[in-house]
Amino acid sequence: MKRRPRIYYSAAQKALMWDRWKAGDTLHEIGKLFDRPHTSIHTILSATGGIRPPQRHRSRLALSIAEREEISRALAAGESIRCIAKRLKRSASTVSRELQRNGGRACYRAAKADEAAWQRACRPKMCKLDNNLALAEIVSVKLQSLWSPEQIAGWLTRTYPDDKDLQVSHEAIYRTLFVQTRGALKKELLAHLRRTRGMRRPRHYTQKTPTHGRIVDAVTISERPACIEDRAVPGHWEGDLLFGDAYSQIATLVERHTRYVMLVKVVDKDSHTVVAALARHAQTLPKELYRSLTWDRGSEMAGHKRFTVATDIQAYFCDPHNPWQRGTNENTNGLLRQYLPKGIDISGYSQDELDAIARKLNERPRKTLGYKTPAEVFNECVASIG
């Protein structure tokens, strides 16, 4: 595999990263701007804990690049230090120190001198917790007791109203935790925050992309043929997941023409597991009796294209927040609650036990079928295609 060349981000590129991070973009979205993986962006942002470093600026007292260029040209012309200082309206000692720091008269170069001065000017400001170890110890103990920084800051203000040295803002606590170069609070204390992430996120941050939680390329229920809508032809099913407790579920399927019910055991609710279980189950029926499937907007059917490719069965989806559009399935799920009440663990039911429950429903006469049972009507359909 060919390795991509290392990239060194410019100040402008880093500024763009911070702007997009503040706007709420994810690391993946920012990485796409530079055609780089999200890990490359994470390296830059995590260096300061996800908190944008303050923008640096030159002191008004420092020599400017224009003044350094003037010094360089004057040296080349052979002028004295005092002459140069007089022209710049600076003291001679200022010009002398500038030359001593940057190689003397013979080696002085304005651009290199300016860059070196910019690097030397870095002065990391000592934070309050680093200067006050007693305060840092109090904050550490409270964090270990699972207090939030805001609770700690408020408690300190109330407990020590007249002692400003024992007061600190919650923002200062957060910044000291996330910017580890401050060194006053150990990184392990991050684990005691309610959200244990290691990098500060902006207010508008979300991992949800424009397609998050949506069924991509879904064919809506309004596109179903009229023969499905009026229940004139058998072979069109409605489906959903029926939950017991929060960790157990089964797939329920009901045929619109006959009201015939089938239950499918699924060990998990992720899309891959559900789609695979439904595809295997579809192979147990004749193609004439399984032509389409209408589902809710649940993410368990995000892989509907795989289902259609594997079974040649078209999947349709209700409009968002309109599960009643699969009314037959919703009604059937209500009937199933007699056998599978809410809150119970249904993961222990075998497929044979689920088939037995479905059989009980299919052998109950239905008014809408002229008091025939769904099993009778479904068997008539099977016989007609035989």
pLDDT digit string, tens, across residues 59-77: 888 899 999 999 999 999 9
CA dihedral for 315, 318, 323, 326, sign (positive or negative)? negative
Of 367, 295, 379, which Cα lies nearest the Cα of 329?
295
pLDDT band at 351 (very low <50, low <70, confident <90, very high): very high
Over residues 105-149, the pLDDT tens digits come to 889 999 999 998 888 887 666 778 888 888 989 999 989 888 888
**Average pLDDT of the chain to the nearest whole number:** 87
Q: In the predicted model, what is the mean pLDDT of residues 8-25?
A: 87
The rounded Cα 176 to chain-centroid distance in angstroms is 24
Per-residue pLDDT for 206 more than 80? no
Token pair belonging to 282: 């579809």
**What's the CA gap between 102 and 77, in Å, rounded?**
18
Query: How many C-alpha atoms does 290 have within 13 Å on its Cβ side?
Result: 20
Give pLDDT, residue 1: 43
Assess whether pLDDT exceeds 70 at residue 50: yes
Segments in the chain forming alpha helices (H)? 11-23, 27-33, 38-46, 65-76, 81-88, 92-101, 104-107, 110-120, 128-131, 133-144, 149-159, 170-178, 226-229, 271-282, 304-311, 327-336, 351-362, 374-385
**How much is the pLDDT for 386?**
66
Give the Cα separation of 386 and 383 in Å (integer): 5
Kindly report, residue by residue over 265-290, the tens digit of the pLDDT.
999 988 999 999 999 999 999 989 99
pLDDT band at 182 (very low <50, low <70, confident <90, very high): low
Dihedral sign, Cα of residue 337, residue 303, residue 208, residue 190? positive
Lowest mean pLDDT among 23-37, 275-289, 311-325, 336-350: 23-37
Homologous superfamily in CATH for domain 221-385 = Ribonuclease H-like superfamily/Ribonuclease H (3.30.420.10)
Q: Where do the domains of the chain lie?
A: 11-46, 65-120, 128-192, 221-385
Task: Say whether pTM exceeds 0.85.
Answer: no
> Does residue 200 carry a pLDDT above 60?
yes
Q: What is the mean pLDDT of residues 158-175?
A: 89
pLDDT of residue 172: 86
For the range 367-374, what are the long-range contacts, defined as Cβ-Cβ under 8 Å and sequence gap of 24 or more? 368/259, 369/258, 369/259, 374/255, 374/258, 374/259, 374/260, 374/261
CA angle 50, 52, 57 (to 5 degrees): 155
C-alpha closest to that of 372 among 280, 292, 257, 209: 257
Averaged pLDDT, 304-310: 92
pLDDT of residue 340: 93
Percent of residues, the chain, with pLDDT higher than 70: 93
What is the DSSP code (8-state) at residue 366? B
Q: How do residues 212-263 score in pLDDT, each as one tens digit? A: 457 788 889 999 988 898 998 999 999 999 999 988 999 999 999 999 999 9
pLDDT at residue 248, rounded to an integer: 92
Residue 187 has pLDDT above 70, yes or no: yes
**Residue predicted with more confidence, 334 or 188:** 334
Tell me, what's the pLDDT at 177?
A: 84
**Cβ pair 328, 273 in contact under 8 A:** no
**pLDDT of 205:** 62
What phi, psi does 353 have (nearest 5°)? -70, -35
**Phi, psi of 190, deg, nearest 5:** -60, -30
